[in-house]
Structure 1
Amino acid sequence: MANAQALLAITALGDPTRRQIFEHLAHGPSPVGELASTMAVTRPAVSQHLRVLKEAGLVTETAQGTRRIYRLDRRGISAVHAWLDERWAEALNATGSTLEQDF
């Protein structure tokens, strides 16, 4: 399950606009309007990108009056981190095996 979430998150971050939103949220929570004001896309487009990031487990939203505040979701980021750690360990093991065969 964690691998599926990690791959969904990585796929979501494949879009440059979503990466830009993700990077903005890394500096702190933000409402849609604030995010949209810093980007070259419309507010509805930002909302659609946020929906994808939310479905990928990378952001959460909370209601504050009539506004929705978005922030990064540590659980999704942790899933990506764990997946990358597994790939790194596999790569190191493969490199070690290759070096052992050469000696």
Structure 2
Amino acid sequence: MQASRSLAQTFAALGDPTRMAILSRLAAQGELTVQEIAAPFAMSLPAVSQHLKVLEHAGLIARGRDGQKRPCRLNVEQFAAAAGWFDHTRAAWEARFDRLERFLATTETKGDGHGR
């Protein structure tokens, strides 16, 4: 239950374009301070901080402490959990499609003897 709640928070956090842009910047540039993260956005620092809180609560980023600075970095473990869910779900759907394909192949073969 906890894992599914965590994944729901992850996917909810990923559903916002600003948060996706923040994560993309962290992936490309590594650790960044809140001011560095906020620089390209046309929004207030408190608004960016709110997005960071959502990302942190979802486990997608972690904040450190370096003197006065609070650098943010990606939490790759949470991304791995989300990727694992996608892999599991994709495999389940591929298995379903394979079964459907086999079923359709057998019904087409059986149907060939009926003069179609």
Q: Which residue of 2 aligns with 1:24?
A: 25
Q: Which residue of 2 aligns with 1:44?
A: 46
Please list every run of at least 4 consecutive aligned residues from structure 1 whose deviation after the TM superposition is greater than 4 angstroms. Answer: none
CA distance in 1, matches of 2:100, 2:20: 36
Shift of 1:4: 2.5
Shift of 1:31: 0.3
Which residue of 90, 94, 97 maps to 1:95?
Answer: 97
**1:82 aligned onto 2:84:** yes
Which residue of 70, 73, 94 maps to 2:72?
Answer: 70
Shift of 1:86: 1.2
**Structure 2, unpaired ranges of 5+:** 106-116
Shift of 1:25: 0.7
The sequence identity of aligned pairs, in percent, is 35
Shift of 1:90: 1.2
CA distance in 2, matches of 1:7, 1:100: 34
Higher RCO (CA 8 Å, separation ≥ 6 residues): 1
CA distance in 2, matches of 1:71, 1:33: 14
Amino acid at match of 1:10: F
Q: RMSD between aligned alpha carbons?
A: 1.0
Helix, strand or coil at the partner of 1:71: strand
**Structure 1, unpaired ranges of 5+:** none
Contact 1:32 1:68 in 2 (8 A): yes
Helix, strand or coil at the partner of 2:42: coil
Which structure has the greater CA radius of gyration?
Answer: 2
